[in-house]
């Protein structure tokens, strides 16, 4: 009986040692800390900005502003067209366009429209004129109404309205100074001029 007790103690010690050894193996079998490093790598990748195709040069080339003022050659062509568009004449004390006035305004207005659309800051001025009869104040108002009638027609043809400015000279700038109907008819008119060249 005394001999079985030490054997029993040895057996218990061996089982305890075996249990401790198994516990160590289980602890070793746990997954390593490497997977914890993988999310850190993913986070590092996420913080690095993705490369995009180089589209910026195309955008900057497209955003380059178009010339706002016509070249000397284009201005010369505008002047030629304006010279071909005769003054539009009006009846006494009237501001409505007569058929001959419409014909005068139609001349080359399509090409003029196409040129002006490319230069939105370039303007034409429509001058309104009257004969010597009537007060200065009345003739300024009448000249303005005549210029407005021409502007409305040209805008209808397609010339941008914002590029047509008006001025009325009333009876102050006659082309003829005789005191008869033939002369007065020459003074009842609108005349179109191009804007002055901007200072350099």
pLDDT of residue 30: 52
50 Cα distance to chain centroid: 32
Give the pLDDT band (50/70/90) at residue 190. very high
Q: What is the mean pLDDT of residues 31-51?
A: 51
Question: How many of the other CB atoms lie within 10 Å of CB of 18?
Answer: 10
- Lowest mean per-residue pLDDT among 2-11, 85-94, 187-196: 2-11
Asked if the structure places residue 176 within a domain, the reply is yes
The CATH number linked to 173 is 3.30.1330.60
Give the pLDDT band (50/70/90) at residue 116. confident
Q: What is the mean pLDDT of residues 53-61?
A: 49
- Which residues of the chain form beta strands (DSSP E)? 88-89, 124-129, 164-170, 189-194
Asked if the structure places residue 124 within a domain, the reply is yes
Asked if the structure places residue 97 within a domain, the reply is yes
How many domains does the structure of the chain reveal?
1
Which residues have C-beta within 8 Å of that of residue 77, sequence separation ≥ 6?
Answer: 115
pTM: 0.63
pLDDT of residue 105: 85
Average pLDDT of the chain, as a whole number:
77
DSSP strand pairing (164-170 vs 124-129):
parallel
Asked if the structure places residue 164 within a domain, the reply is yes
Tell which wins on pLDDT, 137 or 119.
137
The C-alpha atoms of residue 66 and residue 192 are separated, in whole angstroms, by: 26
- Residue 122 structural domain: 72-194
Structure confidence by residue, pLDDT tens digits, 136-164: 999 999 999 999 999 999 999 999 999 99
């Amino acid at each position: 009986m005394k001999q079985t007790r030490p054997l029993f103690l040895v057996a218990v010690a061996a089982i305890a040692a075996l249990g401790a050894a198994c516990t160590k193996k289980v602890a070793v079998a746990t997954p390593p800390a490497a997977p914890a490093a993988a999310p850190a790598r993913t986070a590092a990748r996420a913080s690095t900005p993705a490369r995009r195709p180089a589209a910026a040069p195309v955008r900057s080339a497209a955003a380059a502003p178009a010339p706002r003022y016509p070249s000397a050659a284009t201005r010369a062509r505008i002047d030629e067209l304006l010279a071909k568009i005769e003054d539009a004449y009006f009846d006494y004390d009237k501001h409505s366009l007569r058929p001959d006035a419409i014909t005068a305004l139609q001349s080359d207005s399509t090409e003029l429209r196409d040129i002006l659309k490319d230069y939105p800051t370039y303007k034409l001025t429509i001058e309104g004129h009257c004969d010597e009869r009537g007060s200065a104040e009345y003739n300024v108002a009448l000249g303005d109404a005549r210029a407005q009638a021409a502007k409305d027609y040209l805008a209808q043809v397609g010339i941008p309205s914002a590029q047509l400015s008006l001025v009325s000279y009333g009876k102050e700038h006659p082309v003829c100074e005789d005191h008869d109907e033939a002369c007065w008819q020459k003074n009842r008119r609108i005349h179109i001029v191009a804007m002055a060249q901007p200072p350099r």
